[in-house]
Every structure is written in structure tokens, then in C-alpha cells.
Amino acid sequence: MVSSISIVSFAAAVAIVASWASQLVLGSVEKETKALLESGWWSHEYLNSTTTTPCNLIAITCNAAGSVTHISMNGYNLYQTKLGRFLNGSSFPNLVSLNVDGAGLIGSIPPEIATLSKLTYLDLSGNYLTGSIPPEIRELGNLTHLDLSDNELHGPLPQALGHLSKLKNLHLMSNGINGSIPPEIGNLKNLEILELQNNHLTGALPSALCDLTNLRNLSLGWNQLGGSMPSRIGDLKSLRSLQLCYNRLTGPIVPSLGGLENIELIDLSENLFNGSIPIEICSLSTLTRLDLSYNSIVGQIPFQLFNLTNLTNLNLAFNNLNGNIPSSILQQSKMISSIYLDGNNDLSIIDKVGPNSRKIRIIAFTVSIILVFSILVLIIVTVVRKCGCKYKTCQSLTPSKNGDIFSIWNYDGNIAYEDIIQATEDFDIRYCIGTGGYGSVYRAQLPNGKVVALKKLHTSEAEEPALKKSFTNEVKTLTELKHRNIVRLYGFCSHKRCMFLIYQYMERGSLFCVLNNDAEAKELDWRKRVNIVKGIVNALSYMHHDCTPPIAHRDVTTNNVLLNSELEAVVADFGTAKFLDPDSSTQNTIFAGTYGYVAPEAAYAMVVTEKCDVYSFGVVALETLMGKHPKEVLSSLSSSSTRNLMLTEILDKRLSTPTSRSDVHNVVLVASIVFACLHANPQNRPTMETVSKQFLDRRTPLTNLCFQEISIGHLMNPQVLLSING
């Protein structure tokens, strides 16, 4: 009897527990449905107040109990909603995958992200997310994939990332993240991909990185990292790609790189590495690309490099390498198709390579100081095949007695003069894409399929001393500059009847042309326009503050800002650029620049300082916001009618008024910087370094005003100027 009662009681208890569990599941589903209703992510055609289950919605996957497990909204327009609206408490206890790549989210990553404790896959990339990475992210201990790239996140990398021990892929590139890489990153023993490139990271590379023995891809380029390379980097036996380019790394390239037995790509370019090329690199049989360009590497090139069986691309340009390379070594190479050796100290190829060896076409240089007007620049050329100038055979390693110079370099290692002539059909008008301050600009597609831009002086112009001086000045200046927002000069030809420059080709042309084409201007949304302004800021800040001596451009205009296919900006046309004496506050000069962009003191007093560029930048940035040259605004800045104009009234009407928090923030920030830069007194203008820091700081002036209430007078307010100059 007792046994029977016990069985009945047990069955009743099981039924009660099952009922409670069922109610809990129903309660969870109801919470999930409510959260989805309130998120704003689904339009009413998909979701309404009578919806009882989310499982039939697009981009939703549920488990058998009807609870959401996967959300994949990548590419959907989420109407600039916030992540916090979606994360309504612990509403998604079974969610394992959330993908909202490129969905237009705004705001910050809320601490409530910690409630998604079962997440294994989180992709918030390509949005407008601001703020810092919350420390609560440590609670997502099941994550294997985290992608926060291409947002507007800033602040340091949290130590909490070190708690994500199951993480395999970590993508944080293209944000504004600063500070150092925390040593806790070494706790991520399962990590296979680490991408932190294109941020503002500083400090040294932590040795803890070398504990990530499963790492296949390490990308830390385009930051401000310093110090030396970790000596244990060779411990990363699984590494296939190592990218440390565009940093400030110093010291020698460590021999332990030879331990990267699976490496395919090593890019250490644009750093401050010194010492010689370690012979241990020559044992990397899987290596396909090695880029050590733009460093201070010395000594001779180990010939064993040319025998690596998989190496196809070798770039050692712009170092201090020396010695002779026997052409027989090059002929023996089985794979290398592109070798860059230009811009070195005393490097040459001995013995000519025959015409049947065009598989390897190399241009090696010696940078010499030889040119008129005390602008002594000559890149001496040795071409593997006969380069043959149309007007003069270019075989001499020095200028001829009548001053003819031929020097082409640094583009896949295989530009030669006849390539240029064939590609443009002897500079036929059909290949002309515009005219500059001097000469015409041509588009040329080389035999290898690559495209370059050519700026050629006409025969009559080549005889004019002023234009020849501009030509020479541009060569001298651009050989000193290396920055991603400054146009790259690949080579030049200087002959009394044939003078041209070879540049990186920018597919979208000048900012001026884009702004003056309605269809293209509409494509240039507020985010892209702000990024263009940032690019100009980066270039000018580099020229003014990172170059010794500083360089003033003196002709910053929308015509001299060029855009690539991704609408990223570079500053071009350095014909009037000037190296400044750092010990002199002002320097007299002849007039240079374009009317409408020139600072008052440069036009009237004939003096030049970095602050002249700051003023011109202000005009260009304002033109970018307005979509047209701001001549009316500039001419009446002191009038009350102009000061009473609302910011919204002067913005480009071809675009919708900024509404997202991110766009409003950026437009107000740029506008406040603009009017600080346009101050009549150059001493009251900010430096470009200060402007660059303003973008990093991300504090918006006038935050106490609504966007529609901000006037030009507000932007010119001394308090605003103080915040910009501070």
C-alpha cells in the first residue's frame, strides 16, 4: 500500500515538474516574442502584436521547444536601431548565433550582452557602434567567433577578452581602439585568427602573443605599435600570415622568424626595423610573399632568398641594402615574378639578364642627390631588360651631360619606358583623363594588367623653368613621403622633350569632380565624407608633425584630393610643396596655391607655415560638407546673417539631413573643426595633430544643443574653439 502511494506521489511530482518546465519554456518563448516585438528589427509586415512565436520570422531559427537559437540579420536594414532594444534582459537564453553584419545598428554594445551566455557566434561588424568594448563580454565564455570590425568603437582592449578561452576567431579591425594589447590575450590558446589592424593601438607587442600556438593569421598592421619584435615569435608554428606593416616597430628582424614553418605571407613594411635580413628566413619553404620595404634594413641580401621554391613576391624596396646581385642568381629563381629593390643605398645587379628572362623583370636603384635647384634627387635605375627611352637610350647610371634623367621604379618591379608608350599609344588623347596644374593626366594599363596614372608635361611646358622646378619639387617631396593617405609616386622620366610622373591610380578621380556630379555626390554619404576628411587630416598631420623637416603642401584643394574605388582619400599634387625650417616661425615665399583655398596671410604677406595648410584644409572640409565651394560663407563669416545660419541650412541638400547619432556626431565634429581651422588669425587655428586627436577623442562640441539648433555662430563660439584648440 505504501509502495503504491509512493509511486502515485512520484508520478504526481513528475507531472508537476513537467508542468513547471513547460510553463518556464512558454514563459521564455513569450519573453523572446516580446523582446522581438520591442526590438524594432522586424517591420510590421513580419511581426505584430498578435505574434505568439518568432519561429516563422525571416532570419530566425528555433529549437524543438520554440526558443530562438539563431538570428542572422546580416545585410538587413535594421533602421538604425540600437542593440540595447534587442537585448531586453535575459530574453534569449538559448541563442547560440547572432549575426547582424552591416545592418545599420547604432549606439553602444550594452552590458546586457552578457545575458547571451550560450552564444558561440557573435558578428556585429560593419555597423555604426560606438563606445568601448564592455568588460561584461567576459561572460560569453562559449564564444568561438567574435567580430566587431568596421565600427566606431574606441577605448582600450579590455582584459576581459582573455576570459574567452574557447575563442577561435577574433576580428576587431577598422575601429578607433587605442591603448596597448593586453597580455591576457595570451590566454586564448584556441585562437586561430587575430585581426586588430587599422586601429590606434600603441605600446609594444606582448610576448604573450607567442603563446597562441594555434594562430594561423596575425594582423596588427596600420596601428602605432612600437618596441621590438618578440624574440619567441617563431613559436607560432601554425602561422600562415603575419602582417605588422605600418607601425613603428624597431630593432632587428628576429632570427626566430625562421621557425614559422607554415608561413606564407610576412609583411613587415613601413616600420623602423634595422639590422640585416636574418639568414634564417631563407629556410621558409612555404613562403610566397615577403615584404620588408620602407624600413632601415642594412647589409646584403642573402642569395638563398631567391631559391625559395614558393616565393613569388619579394619587396625589399626603400631600405639601406647594398652589394651586388649576380644576374645568374635571378635567372635560377623558379618562382619569383615580382621583385622590388628600388630606393636602396648602393645596390645593383651585375651582368645583364637576357631578353628570354622577362619572367623576372627587376628595377634596382641607388638614391643619389644630384638635381638642379639644390633639389638633389636621383633614383639610379638598372633594368633587367633594355628600357629604351624614345628620345634617348637610357643605359647610363648617371645623368647625361645635357641633364637627361630616366628613372622608373616600384610597380611590380616591371615598369619600363616602352610599357608606358605602348599602354598610352604614345600619349594619345584617348587615354587622357584630365589636366592638372601643369601637363595632362593619362590612364595606362601595363602589360601585367595593373593600372597607373601618368602626369605628363607638354613639350612647351617642359621648357619652362617654373614648371620644371615644380616637376623636380614633386619628385623630391614624394620620395620623402610614405603614408597611406598620400598618393604613391612609382617613378618619373625627366628628359628635355619628355617629362612625366607615374602615380598610383585613383579610380574615382578628384573629390572636386565627385562633388560636382549629382549621382556620385549622392553616393558620397555622410559617413564616407567624414572618412575622406579624416584621410586628409591623417596626411597633413603626418607631413606637419612626423616628417623632419616638416612639409607644407601649399595647395590643398578638392582637386588635389583623389579617391580610390572605395572612396578613400589621398592627398596629391606636391609641385608647390615646401620643406619648412623648424627653427623659423614664418618663411617668406612666392605666392603658391589656388585662389579660394589660400590662407589670408599666404596671399597678402607671402609667408608660409603649416597653418596655411590648416586653413586650406578647413575650406576643403567645409566644401565636402556643403557639396560646393563655400565662397559665400567664407566671404561673410563676420556678418551676423552668416553667423545666424543653421548648420543644417548649409549642408549638401543632395543628401538627407543626418539623423543617426553617429552621422550627427561626426558632422558636428567636422563642422566645429572647420570653423576653428578657418580662423583669420593663424595662431588661433589648431594644428593638424590636434585635429587628428579630436577625431580620436570623439567628444562632440555643443552636445547640449539639438542638431537642428546649431548655427554657424555656435560653431564659431570661442568656447567651441577652445575645445578644438585644447
Of 79, 28, 78, nearest to 54 by C-alpha is 28
DSSP string, 686-717: PPHHHHHHHHHH-PPTTTTS-GGG-BHHHHT-
H or E element that contains 632: helix 631-635
Residue 603, amino acid: A
Q: How many CB atoms are located within 10 Å of the residue 495 CB?
A: 19
Q: Are strands 97-99 and 509-510 parallel, antiparallel or unpaired?
A: unpaired
Estimate the crossing angle of helix 688-697 against helix 661-677, to 10 degrees.
160
Cα 22 from Cα 65, distance rounded (Å): 9
Question: Cα separation of 304 and 330, whole Å?
Answer: 11
Residue 339 DSSP one-character state: E
602: left (phi over 0), alpha (psi -120 to 50) or beta: alpha
- Beta-ladder partners of 496: none
Q: Cell 595648410 identifies what position? A: 613
Q: How far apart are CA 307 and CA 123, in angstroms?
A: 42
522 is in an annotated binding site: no
241-243 and 200-201 beta bridge pairing: unpaired
The answer to whether residue 342 is catalytic is no
Half-sphere exposure of 659 (CA within 13 A, CB side): 8
Residues 6+ positions from 105 with CB-CB distance below 8 Å: 78, 80, 81, 82, 83, 124, 127, 128, 129
3-state SS class at 323: strand
Which residues on neighbouring strands pair with residue 70, listed in sequence order?
A: 61, 97
Coil vs helix vs strand at 510: strand
Choose, from 342, 555, 652, 663, the residue flagged as catalytic. 555
Torsion of CA 250, 256, 258, 259, to 10 degrees: -140
Measured CA distances, 668 to 188, 722, 726 (Å): 40, 15, 17
Q: How far is CA 230 from CA 29, 204, 251, 488, in A?
A: 51, 9, 10, 31
Q: Which helix (H) or strand (E) holds 406?
A: strand 405-408
> Rounded to 5 degrees, what angle do the CA atoms 648, 653, 655 make?
100
Alpha-carbon distances, residue 208 vs 34, 189, 235, 535 (angstroms): 44, 10, 11, 33
Cα–Cα distance between 197 and 218 in angstroms, integer?
9
DSSP H helices in 542-609: 600-604
Q: Which residues are annotated as a binding site?
A: 455
**Residues classed as catalytic:** 555
Annotated binding site for ATP: 455
